[in-house]
């Protein structure tokens, strides 16, 4: 137990507990940076974790630093990979040979042999070459921001009077996002976001968002999505307009019935809207996803194996239900943080994983998230189950893709395994890992008995 973070025992990564302990890592980073660049680490916080059992673990930290010479305090993002014995030094050498971009703290990379950790300071990500261009735009350098401003038909010809920019999301070796708040000379303000991702999915995401933004569903108010602005292939940046509102999760940690119903209607509008989707959920993914998640979970905790075997059997038996279902425009990453609430309007954001597939996959993802949040919080499942029923009822009333109870239950059980239980291990969020066994029991119950029966207390 590290604070509220319970961790698996991993003989290949014995340093895992120390690396995820904020108090333990602050003096480690402080000693390393003081000796190299005269920067004092005043605070350290784990931001994200990506754990690969028995292999490695990627971690990002948010550091608060103070320059010993000037006394200036500032924030610095860093990330690194915890390796098995003997692997960190060669990985560090390869990384340093590829890139050494300047960071604010004056150090591009670190090797900490005692922890088998090779680490880098933003923007020196080994698998996100576009991070340099994104950080240049945030720091007021480069031409990426100027080019997107020139491409906006409704932007005034003069430069903004003020630009406030920040890197608001950084997922090591995967993706990042920056926010730009612009204030014109007449006081009017607007907000832009620029995104990058390792897979280079910007053009596909831009095409999907263009279609959704131009759709009748958005024009008549049934669907709300951000306005896409520009794909910059040279810099690798995808730009979109910011939208007002707060994440649904921040306002309502447990979405109430009436709001759940509105989410159902919003999802029905998305599913009914055609878009040029570059990816379709394949049979191999439907089969391989549960198997891969079960393999990861079973590696971490062999005691879960009977539950996993039973769940895989139940999912395999029900998979044929999806064969003849029509493909719709799926969000692909549906949860309350990817829906904004602005007064009385719900807005779908983060459409980077939009794809074609059976509507039940989004439905099951939302219900699984609703149930798992209640389970992790130690709350009763009955209210979450009632909210799921309101969500489904509203969706079916607004959609021509009304999935049956059986296929929604199958998709919910699958999402509990492949999304909720999997991420509880892979991301090691505080409070989640200890509830994995209960998540698997819930998935088994739903796969066998559906969503209509009272759910067991777990």
Per-residue pLDDT of the chain (458 residues; tens, 9 = 90+): 344 568 999 999 999 999 999 999 999 999 999 989 999 999 999 999 999 999 999 999 999 999 999 999 999 999 999 999 999 999 999 988 887 888 999 999 999 999 999 999 999 999 999 999 999 999 998 888 888 888 876 776 677 889 999 999 999 999 999 999 999 888 889 999 999 999 889 999 999 999 999 999 999 999 999 999 999 999 999 999 999 999 999 999 999 999 999 999 999 999 999 999 999 999 999 999 999 999 999 999 999 999 999 999 999 999 999 988 999 999 999 999 999 999 889 999 999 999 999 999 999 999 999 999 999 999 999 999 999 999 999 999 999 887 899 999 999 999 999 999 999 999 999 999 999 999 999 999 999 999 999 999 98
Domains and CATH numbers, the chain: 16-121 (3.10.450), 131-241 (3.30.200), 247-449 (3.90.1200.10)
247: which strand partners? 340
**Nearest Cα to Cα of residue 84 among 19, 18, 17, 15:** 15
Segment 261-307, tens digit of pLDDT: 999 999 999 999 999 999 999 999 999 999 999 999 999 999 999 99
Residue length, the chain?
458
Whole-number Å distance between alpha carbons of 340 and 346: 6
pLDDT (tens digit per residue) in 88-111: 999 999 988 887 888 999 999 999
Express each pLDDT in 21-31 by its tens digit.
999 999 999 99
Burial class (CB in 10 A: 0-12, 13-18, 19+), 280: exposed
Location of structure tokens 């066994």? 437
CA distances (Å), origin 82, targets 21, 170, 211, 386, 393: 14, 18, 41, 42, 46
| Burial class of 278 by CB neighbour count within 10 A (0 to 12, 13 to 18, 19+) | middle
Confidence (pLDDT) at 96: 87
Q: Cα(199)–Cα(127) distance, rounded to whole angstroms?
A: 10
């Amino acid at each position: 137990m590290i604070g509220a973070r319970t961790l698996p025992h991993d003989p290949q990564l014995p340093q895992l507990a120390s690396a995820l302990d904020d108090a333990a890592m602050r003096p480690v980073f402080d000693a390393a940076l003081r000796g190299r660049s005269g920067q004092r680490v005043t605070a350290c916080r784990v931001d994200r974790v990506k754990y690969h059992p028995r292999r490695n673990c990627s971690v990002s930290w948010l550091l608060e630093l103070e320059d010993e010479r000037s006394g200036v305090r500032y924030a610095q993002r860093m990330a690194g990979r915890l390796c098995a014995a003997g692997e960190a030094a060669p990985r560090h050498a390869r990384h340093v040979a590829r890139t050494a971009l300047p960071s604010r703290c004056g150090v591009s990379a670190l090797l900490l042999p005692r922890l088998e950790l090779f680490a880098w300071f933003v923007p020196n990500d080994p698998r996100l070459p576009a991070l340099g261009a994104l950080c240049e735009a945030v720091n007021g350098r480069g031409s990426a921001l100027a080019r997107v401003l020139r491409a906006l038909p409704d932007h005034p010809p003069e430069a903004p009077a003020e630009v406030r920019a920040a890197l608001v999301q950084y997922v090591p070796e995967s993706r990042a996002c920056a926010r730009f708040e612009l204030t014109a000379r007449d006081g009017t303000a607007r907000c832009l976001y620029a995104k990058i991702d390792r897979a280079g999915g910007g053009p596909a995401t831009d095409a999907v968002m263009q279609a959704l933004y131009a759709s009748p569903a958005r024009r008549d108010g049934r669907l709300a999505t951000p306005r896409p602005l520009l794909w910059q292939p040279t810099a690798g940046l995808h730009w979109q307009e910011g939208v007002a509102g707060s994440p649904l999760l921040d306002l309502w940690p447990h979405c109430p019935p009436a709001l759940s119903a509105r989410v159902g209607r919003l999802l029905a509008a998305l599913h009914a809207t055609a878009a040029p989707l570059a990816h379709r959920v394949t049979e191999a993914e439907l089969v391989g996803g549960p198997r891969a998640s079960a393999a990861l979970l079973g590696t971490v905790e062999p005691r879960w194996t009977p539950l996993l075997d039973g769940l895989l059997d139940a999912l395999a038996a029900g998979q044929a239900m999806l064969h003849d279902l029509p493909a719709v425009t799926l969000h692909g990453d549906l949860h309350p943080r990817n829906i904004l609430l602005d007064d009385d309007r719900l807005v779908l954001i983060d459409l980077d994983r939009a794809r074609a597939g059976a509507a039940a996959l989004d439905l099951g993802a939302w219900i699984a998230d609703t149930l798992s949040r209640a389970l992790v919080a130690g709350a009763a499942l009955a209210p979450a189950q009632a909210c799921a029923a309101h969500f489904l009822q509203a969706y079916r009333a607004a959609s021509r893709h009304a999935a049956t109870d059986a296929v929604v239950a199958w998709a919910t059980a699958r999402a509990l395994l492949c999304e909720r239980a999997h991420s509880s291990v892979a991301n090691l969020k505080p409070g989640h890992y200890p509830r994995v066994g209960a998540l698997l029991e819930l998935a088994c119950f739903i796969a066998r008995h559906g969503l209509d029966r009272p759910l067991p207390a777990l």
